[in-house]
Amino acid sequence: MKSILQLISEELAPAFTACGYDPELAKASNSNRPDLCEYQCNGSMAAAKKYHKAPIMIAQDVVAQAANSPLFEKIEAVNPGFINITLKNDFVSWYLNQLAATGTLGASRYGEGKTVVLDYGGANVAKPLHVGHLRAAIIGESLKRLYRYTGHTVYGDVHMGDWGLQMGLIIEETRSRHPELCYFDPDYTGEYPAEAPFTISDLEEIYPAASKRSKEDEEFARAAHDATVALQQGNPGYRALFRHILAVSVKDLKKNYGNLDVSFDVWKGESDAQAFIPGMIQTLKDQGILHESQGAMVVDVDEPTDTKEVPPCIIQKSDGASLYATTDLATLVQREQDYHPDEVLYVVDKRQELHFTQVFRTARKAGIVRPETKLTFLGFGTMNGKDGKPFKTREGGVMRLEHLIADIDEAVFSRIMENRTVDEEQAREIAKTVGLAALKYGDLSNQATKNYVFDVDRFISFEGNTGPYILYTIVRIKSILRKYLETAEALPKEVAPAVDASEKVLQLLLSKAGETITDSCENIAPHRLCQYIYEVSDAFNSFYHEHIILGETDAARKDGWIALLELTRDILETCIDLLGFSAPDQM
Ligand code: ARG
């Protein structure tokens, strides 16, 4: 569906033509003086240069031509040559009814036919999820939903870190505790047990213990390294243990991501890329771009326009071991084979930017991806504590995700209990929904690339630019609609022309729903969607405070308002769903 801006431009274009000016100049924009008008067109300024005429005269010519348009309530030329426009109320309400009928709130399905692989997990197996993985999950989940809404086919891949030294550490630690287990018997020929020899709580204790020990005990460290190599070379007992570690961890990860309302379509990890490494390296060789440097095998990826040094991409170390870049390149081979994607989008900590520059350039040079495949790195900033340093627990340790969530839920719970409108059990349920909104909105409302301060008190506030404020607005609307339905069969659907300024402001904002969704997706910028729903919520609450909706005696007017409320609710709920959270029925 065309945006209102497009419709205004199309309305002005013939007026420009009729006056002898280029219709391309008839571009409308949002008003930067909302006190004077709703939209404006600055085309006369550019026309002035082209036609050597005073801009105000051009603006006056156009205004005289367009004065009788059914779209414009008011169109005027103001110094030095702007065209200020106020729309007719019945045009705006007509537009909203069209928008409601699209089924996508007017958003474009521009992604139809396009396939995207979204890499936004990165959790490391056997290590508990920590806040560092939180941003990837929150931002990635929102992008997945936005991409789908705009028609893309999306494969969300968790891409676990499951192939590193942590595996060898766990294997060695398990051996020293239970040397009798069959996994360590080189002569064992039977089936390995289906049941893992450890639980997730065991693993959570085993890994840090082993990691600590490897720093103090050189022999142990060497053994863990050797076990990692043996695992990678296919030692059957270690392989069986690895499958146990993976199964136990994945089950736990699914639970944790589930609590965040984050899900993945593909549960692959670095280990799945290993099979593609030999072929990938052969490709690099065939292309003649792999060469030796200080014992390692590398690909040069620097470009003459680089302002910062981009070192060669190391593919194999001197001992033959592969690296992070090797795995990511091999994964691209697998993704190309399995999905043939138009875009691969990585949501990863921005400190990994250089790594992705090296990987993308190598992939292009080697033809691992097609020239038209987009490779996008969305590097996010750090979540800091109030002290401005990366977020830690009170004791200074790494905060575990589940503890962080529990803390927020508890804070929201106390807030809800202060009002005492619901019983304790309900309050617990509601606190979960509101807590998740607080957490996700607190993150997503910041531009992803920037660092932000994690401030529970601010995030859970019911006022200001917060998740709970948005939910509160939705809950308020739902409650009015419920009351309306107590005496009516169904909700009226036709939005009516605005009766005053606060209603017009709300209607104009709602008319921007589709273009805002499209724009947030195209620019991989969920924060723009947050800003939008914040403005809609503010506009709705102003409208609400100025009108007695259910008590309105003019039935047609009341029905128009109820339809407007229903559309506002639909837009807010769709947008929060795209951000990855939902609203309760009461709070
Ligand atoms: N496991 C990595 C980490 O914790 C993140 C992985 C990101 N994705 C990728 N394809 N490299 O830092």
d(CA 542, CA 507): 12
Spell out the per-residue pLDDT of the chain, length 587, in tens.
999 999 999 999 999 999 999 999 999 999 989 999 999 999 999 999 999 999 999 999 999 999 999 999 999 999 999 999 999 999 999 999 999 999 999 999 999 999 999 999 999 888 777 787 899 999 999 999 999 999 999 999 999 999 888 999 999 999 999 999 999 999 999 999 999 999 998 998 999 999 999 999 999 999 999 999 899 889 999 999 999 999 999 999 999 999 999 999 999 999 999 999 999 999 999 999 999 999 999 999 999 999 999 999 999 998 888 899 999 999 999 999 999 999 999 999 999 999 999 999 999 999 999 999 999 999 999 999 888 888 877 777 777 888 889 999 999 999 988 877 788 999 999 999 999 999 999 999 999 999 999 889 999 999 999 999 999 999 999 999 999 999 999 999 999 999 999 999 999 999 999 999 999 999 999 999 999 999 999 999 999 999 999 999 999 999 999 999 999 999 999 999 999 999 999 98
- Residues with Cβ within 8 Å of 72's Cβ and at least 6 positions away in sequence, in order, are 11, 66, 85, 86, 87, 88
Question: Does 381 reside within a domain?
Answer: no
Question: Does 224 reside within a domain?
Answer: yes
Domain limit, last residue, from 87, 111, 143: 87
DSSP 8-class letter at 320: S
**Whose Cα sits closest to atom 2 in ligand 1?**
122
d(CA 405, CA 402): 5
**Do residue 83 and residue 169 come from a single domain?**
no
Question: Does 414 reside within a domain?
Answer: no
Is the CB of residue 573 below 6 angstroms from any atom belonging to ligand 1?
no
E strand or H helix at 117, and its extent?
strand 115-119
Question: Does 469 reside within a domain?
Answer: no
CA of 214 to the centre of ligand 1 (A): 23
Structural domain of residue 242, as residue ranges?
A: 165-259
pTM recorded for the entire structure: 0.95
Judge contact between 98 and 1, C-beta under 8 A: yes
* 124 CA: nearest ligand 1 atom: 1
Question: Does 564 reside within a domain?
Answer: no
Looking from the CA of 379 toward its CB, the CA atoms found within 13 Å total 8
Hey, which of 267, 348, 375, 378 would you mutate to test ligand 1's pocket, going by the most ligand atoms within 8 Å of its Cβ? Answer: 348
Q: How many domains does the chain have?
A: 2
- Residues with Cβ within 8 Å of 401's Cβ and at least 6 positions away in sequence, in order, are 128, 129, 130, 131, 133, 134, 256, 260
Tokens encoding 116: 């995207």
Domain limit, last residue, from 235, 259, 283: 259
d(CA 87, CA 70): 9
**Whose Cα sits closest to atom 3 in ligand 1?**
122
Judge contact between 136 and 382, C-beta under 8 A: no
296-301: long-range contacts at Cβ-Cβ below 8 A with a sequence spacing of 24 or more? 299/362, 299/365, 299/366, 301/357, 301/358, 301/361, 301/362, 301/365
Give the domain CATH number at 36: 3.30.1360.70
Among the listed residues 141, 146, 145, 142, the one whose alpha carbon sits nearest the alpha carbon of residue 157 = 141
Domain limit, last residue, from 259, 291, 311: 259
Among the listed residues 543, 559, 560, 466, the one whose alpha carbon sits nearest the alpha carbon of residue 506 = 543
Question: Does 48 reside within a domain?
Answer: yes
d(CA 583, CA 576): 8
9-35 burial string, b = 16+ CB within 10 Å, else e? bebbbebbeebebebebbbbeebeeee
Question: Does 12 reside within a domain?
Answer: yes
Question: Does 210 reside within a domain?
Answer: yes
d(CA 341, CA 346): 13
